[in-house]
């Protein structure tokens, strides 16, 4: 049946019989690979219920199917168009010039798949954009945006589609790889008249209590990260630094926290600080003030 169709097409189109055979071969290859992928995904989804696991199977199977199709069909086309090498060299040069951005996107995709600077679920910053990676594709990856007009790097609800080529033009900061923790700071300003030593002691007790369980986990993860990166800290326990500002004494709490818990942790610290300072008569928050002196009196 297929041979009859090919002969009919040869008579009415003038296309060579060999080229039509190659075309049908490519079409059959596409159908077979596509059906195999669907069957494999159906079997996997029957046993795997996790959303993340299913997503990875869909993406991985798509990449493998694309590679197989390009390899098989490419071999057929090379043989079919062996006499047109010169022509295609000019066409390829023109396409590279016209499609430099899509090509750069594909190169970026290969880099992301090969080197794994980030994966789906990681929190990253690239250029001006920060967010959680929710999808990876051939020409772009998608972020669930954080920060911007929202404080403490919480989600804005917007999805940002970033061209893969941007990874060659901008540094990438990965919150979820390596050490897996970030240093957070909370600044508390008290008046010059306050007992700042007592205030510092109160802040130290509050942050140490909240960070007690976290420090044990951080030390284990730091040792694991040090095997891959030259990461070392002499001290992982929280600390309160002292400095002087125009309106009072600045006490800066510095402590470790997980990237996605930063706002909640900061809120807990402030609530504990407000409750503790409310009980102290000689500790007061500072704010911008002006003082006037009358030299005539």
Q: Examine residue 56 and state whether it is found in any structural domain, yes or no.
A: yes
Provide the pLDDT for residue 179.
Answer: 73
Which two tokens mark 254?
Answer: 């510095």
Q: Are strands 239-244 and 182-190 parallel, antiparallel or unpaired?
A: unpaired
pTM: 0.62
Q: Examine residue 111 and state whether it is found in any structural domain, yes or no.
A: no
Q: Examine residue 112 and state whether it is found in any structural domain, yes or no.
A: no
**Among the three residues 68, 98, 128, which one is the final residue of a domain in this structure?**
98
Pair 17, 93 in one domain? yes
For residue 108, which phi and psi values (nearest 5 degrees)? -65, -40
Measured CA to CA, the distance from residue 9 to residue 160 in angstroms comes to 47
Closest CA to 145 of 137, 155, 135: 155
> Across the strands, what pairs with 285?
190
Provide the pLDDT for residue 126.
Answer: 92
Pair 170, 186 in one domain? no
Q: What is the DSSP letter of 285?
A: B
Pair 84, 133 in one domain? no
**What CATH number is associated with residue 145?**
2.30.30.60
Q: Examine residue 107 and state whether it is found in any structural domain, yes or no.
A: no
Which two tokens mark 177?
Answer: 């790889």
Q: Examine residue 91 and state whether it is found in any structural domain, yes or no.
A: yes
Provide the pLDDT for residue 243.
Answer: 95
Pair 80, 15 in one domain? yes
Encode the chain (297 residues) as per-residue pLDDT tens digits.
555 655 555 555 555 556 656 677 777 888 888 888 888 888 888 887 777 777 778 878 887 888 887 777 766 666 555 544 544 555 566 566 666 777 788 888 889 888 889 988 899 999 889 999 998 888 899 999 998 888 777 888 899 999 998 999 899 988 877 777 888 999 999 999 999 999 999 999 999 988 877 766 776 777 666 666 666 666 778 899 999 998 899 999 999 888 888 889 999 999 999 999 999 989 999 987 766 666 665
Q: Which domain holds residue 132?
A: 117-174
CB of 261 closer than 8 Å to CB of 180: no
Domains in the chain: how many in total?
3
């Amino acid at each position: 049946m297929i041979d009859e169709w090919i002969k009919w097409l040869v008579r009415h189109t003038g296309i060579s019989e060999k080229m039509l055979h190659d075309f049908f071969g490519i079409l059959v290859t596409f159908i077979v690979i596509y059906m195999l992928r669907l069957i494999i995904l159906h079997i996997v989804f029957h046993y795997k219920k996790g959303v993340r696991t299913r997503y990875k199977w869909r993406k991985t199977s798509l990449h493998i199917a694309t590679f197989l199709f390009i390899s098989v069909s490419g071999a057929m086309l090379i043989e079919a168009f062996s006499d047109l090498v010169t022509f295609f060299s000019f066409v390829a040069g023109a396409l590279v010039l016209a499609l430099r951005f899509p090509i750069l996107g594909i190169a970026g995709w290969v880099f992301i798949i090969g080197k794994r600077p980030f994966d789906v679920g990681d929190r990253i910053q690239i250029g001006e954009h920060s967010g959680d990676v929710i999808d990876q594709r051939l020409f772009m990856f998608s972020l669930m945006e954080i920060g911007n007009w929202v404080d403490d790097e919480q989600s804005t609800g917007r999805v940002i589609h970033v061209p893969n080529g941007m990874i060659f033009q901008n540094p990438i900061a990965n919150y979820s790889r390596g050490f897996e923790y970030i240093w957070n700071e909370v600044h508390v300003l008290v008046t010059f008249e306050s007992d700042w030593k007592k205030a510092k002691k109160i802040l130290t007790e509050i942050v140490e209590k909240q960070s007690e369980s976290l420090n044990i986990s951080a030390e284990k993860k730091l040792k694991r990260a040090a095997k891959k990166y030259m990461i070392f800290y002499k001290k992982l326990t929280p600390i309160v630094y002292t400095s002087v500002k125009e309106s009072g004494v600045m006490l800066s709490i510095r402590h470790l926290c997980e990237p996605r818990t930063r706002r909640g942790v900061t809120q807990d610290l402030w609530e504990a600080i407000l409750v503790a300072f409310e009980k102290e008569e000689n500790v007061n928050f500072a704010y911008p003030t002006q003082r006037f002196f009358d030299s005539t009196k």
